Structure 1
Amino acid sequence: MKKSRVLTALTIAATAVVLAACGSTAKKTTTVTIGASPTPHAEILKHIQPELKKEGVNLKIKQFQDYVLPNKALASKDIDANYFQHTPFLKEWNAKNKGNLISAGSIHLEPIAVYSKKYKSLKDLPKNATVLVSNNVADYGRVLEIFKDAGLITLKKGTDTTNANFKDIATNKKNIKFKTGYEPKLMPQLYNNKQGDAEVINSNYAVQAKLSPAKDAIAVEKSSSPYSNIVAIRPDEKNNKALKKVIKALKSKSTQSWIKKHFKGSVEPVE
């Protein structure tokens, strides 16, 4: 009996040692919190969550409904990164707020587009037509490019569209009135209410409103646009291994294929 008890005790002790050893070699999990717009950014991040979990990264997603708070949250270290903006927007925010946020990588392009419930193409717009544009100054160059490509306006010589505004228009064939100052998220509502002759809507808000740039827009910016959406981080996060895994997952071929299939042209991956 005593011998049996000794053997049992030894077995229990050995098992405890093995379990302790296993515990010490278990993969450590690092939590990363990324701020994102609900569509498509948060959707894309949710898609890569299972893959990142296998890599030891617990990805938490904090959704923002506007373009103001995500950079403030990142700068104040409330989140580890954000995913909602393009580089010109980030540059403008840094300049206005004395910030130093940087890009960790370009992920996708959301083609900005012009929509209208009254006309079927830009060329159908009448003289003195009113085009509603959001208050997102960083997108004005994109809008100008669309109307320039349609032959409706020309720009002043030497204009850099990444920081252009409507004062840079040289000639305006139909004397189109570009009315600005609206919250980006309200643009689909203005479109549905026919507030202007046409409305310019960012793809994330268009998709949320069940609009497809490929099918519903009367004009879409070209795929060569420099306005690809990025993951922004603080400079001190440059060598963050967990964030590097996030970027790798976002830029993987499987994620790129999923983006193309899931969003059907409303969002295009940056290869």
Structure 2
Amino acid sequence: MKKLIIFLLTALLSLALVACGTADNEEGAEDTSNSEENTEETNDEGATEENEELTKIVVGASAVPHSEVLEQAAPLLEEQGIELQIETYQEYVLPNQDLDSGLLDANYYQHTPFLETEKEQKGYDFVDLGGVHIEPIGFYSKNVESVEDIEEGTTIIMSRNVPDHGRNLLLLQEEGLITLDEDVDPTEATVEDIVENPLNLEFDTSIEPALLTQNYEREEDTVVAINTNYAIEHGLVPTEDAIILESPDSPYANLIVARSEDEDNEALQTLVDVLRSEEIQTFMEEEYDGAIIPVSE
């Protein structure tokens, strides 16, 4: 009888020890889980703090090449604590409207004459933070292969963007196709300022810039002045396909533009510096094969 009692007590003691061990393990597992959760929370907080340290800027740009150039600049800006958000546009009106309304911190698509016209007509309080690249404008045609092949009465199609008219007409004058009134600033010239037109060229200035390539495809016997960004996007190579191409010393640099209140904004100043850096300039030269020309000053 004593042996039976001792056996039962020993069995009960063993079960008690096992139960305690199991409970300890479960508590340990819970502690480990809590530790992992705490670690994850710490990591998340650290990541959040790191993201909060980045200064975010929103820049509007034409699709090609402007947005592509900005995409190359984004990692370089991130290294300097700046997060770049790119908003892409297909036309020339909204980027300035959105900049004025505060939806954008800056935009990158326009040259000085266009900017000055927009400011005068719409009252924008904008400032030019610096040029990034030049897009030599060109004249293209499906059937006309050279300036010498332009026949009498040929239609010259230019966009309805008036600030580009003087730029286009000056190129035609340099090729001897027209003569402009010498009392008019060539950069501000319009079709009405043509005083000599020996080939009786016709001019169509009613087309939206984004639709110029469609007219190039459809109107085969015309000569169309196409902005380089649209030409590249359409698959044209300006240095090979244009029958007339603006020289590299063009004053029409594409600018980073911001509201005047942000003229000294450090993040936007850094954006200009990065876009003028050797790495980005090399990308532009290699990617676009001379179709756009970097500006370093």
Q: TM-score, normalised by structure 1?
A: 0.89
2:84 aligned partner:
59
Computing the radius of gyration from Cα coordinates, the structure with the larger value is 2
Q: In structure 2, how many angstroms separate the alpha carbons of the residues matched to 1:210 and 1:191? A: 12
Q: In structure 1, how many angstroms separate the alpha carbons of the residues matched to 2:295 and 2:195? A: 32
Q: In structure 2, how many angstroms separate the alpha carbons of the residues matched to 1:98 and 1:110? A: 26
The structure 2 residue matched to 1:49, chosen from 42, 63, 74, is 74
Q: How far is the alpha carbon of 1:241 from its aligned partner?
A: 0.9
Q: Is residue 143–residue 220 contact of structure 2 (8 Å, CA) maintained in 1? A: no
Q: Is residue 132–residue 196 contact of structure 1 (8 Å, CA) maintained in 2? A: no
140-149 or 32-41, larger mean C-alpha shift? 140-149
The structure 2 residue matched to 1:151, chosen from 157, 164, 176, is 176
Amino acid at match of 1:234: R
1:8 aligned partner:
none
2:150 aligned partner:
125
Q: Is residue 123–residue 150 contact of structure 1 (8 Å, CA) maintained in 2? A: no
Q: Is residue 142–residue 220 contact of structure 2 (8 Å, CA) maintained in 1? A: no
Q: How many pairs does the alignment contain?
A: 255
Mapping for residues 130-141 of structure 1, pairs under 5 Å: 130-141=155-166
Mapping for residues 48-197 of structure 1, pairs under 5 Å: 48-194=73-219, 196-197=221-222
Show structure 1 runs of 4+ deviating over 3 A. Answer: none
Q: In structure 2, how many angstroms separate the alpha carbons of the residues matched to 1:171 and 1:102? A: 38
2:256 aligned partner:
231
1:248 aligned partner:
273
1:221 aligned partner:
246
The Cα offsets for residues 47-101 of structure 1, whole Å up to 9 and x where unpaired, read as 0101111100000000111100000000111100000100100000011101121
Amino acid at match of 1:149: E
Provide the alpha-carbon RMSD of the alignment. Answer: 2.0
The Cα offsets for residues 122-160 of structure 1, whole Å up to 9 and x where unpaired, read as 221111110111111110011111111101111111221
Q: In structure 1, how many angstroms separate the alpha carbons of the residues matched to 2:172 and 2:120? A: 27
2:287 aligned partner:
262
Unaligned runs of 5+ in 2: 1-34
3-state DSSP of counterpart to 1:59: strand
Q: How far is the alpha carbon of 1:195 from its aligned partner?
A: 5.3
Q: How far is the alpha carbon of 1:196 from its aligned partner?
A: 4.8
Q: In structure 1, how many angstroms separate the alpha carbons of the residues matched to 2:95 and 2:264? A: 21
1 or 2, which has the higher helix percentage? 2
Amino acid at match of 1:38: A
Q: In structure 1, how many angstroms separate the alpha carbons of the residues matched to 2:89 and 2:186? A: 27
Q: In structure 1, how many angstroms separate the alpha carbons of the residues matched to 2:198 and 2:108? A: 38
87-96 or 218-227, larger mean C-alpha shift? 218-227
3-state DSSP of counterpart to 1:167: helix
Q: In structure 1, how many angstroms separate the alpha carbons of the residues matched to 2:169 and 2:108? A: 25
Q: Is residue 34–residue 79 contact of structure 1 (8 Å, CA) maintained in 2? A: yes
Q: Is residue 260–residue 267 contact of structure 1 (8 Å, CA) maintained in 2? A: yes
Q: In structure 2, how many angstroms separate the alpha carbons of the residues matched to 1:200 and 1:85? A: 17
Q: In structure 2, how many angstroms separate the alpha carbons of the residues matched to 1:91 and 1:153? A: 26
Q: In structure 2, how many angstroms separate the alpha carbons of the residues matched to 1:28 and 1:174? A: 63
Amino acid at match of 1:49: A
3-state DSSP of counterpart to 2:109: strand
Q: In structure 1, how many angstroms separate the alpha carbons of the residues matched to 2:68 and 2:291? A: 13
3-state DSSP of counterpart to 1:181: strand
Q: How far is the alpha carbon of 1:162 from its aligned partner?
A: 2.0
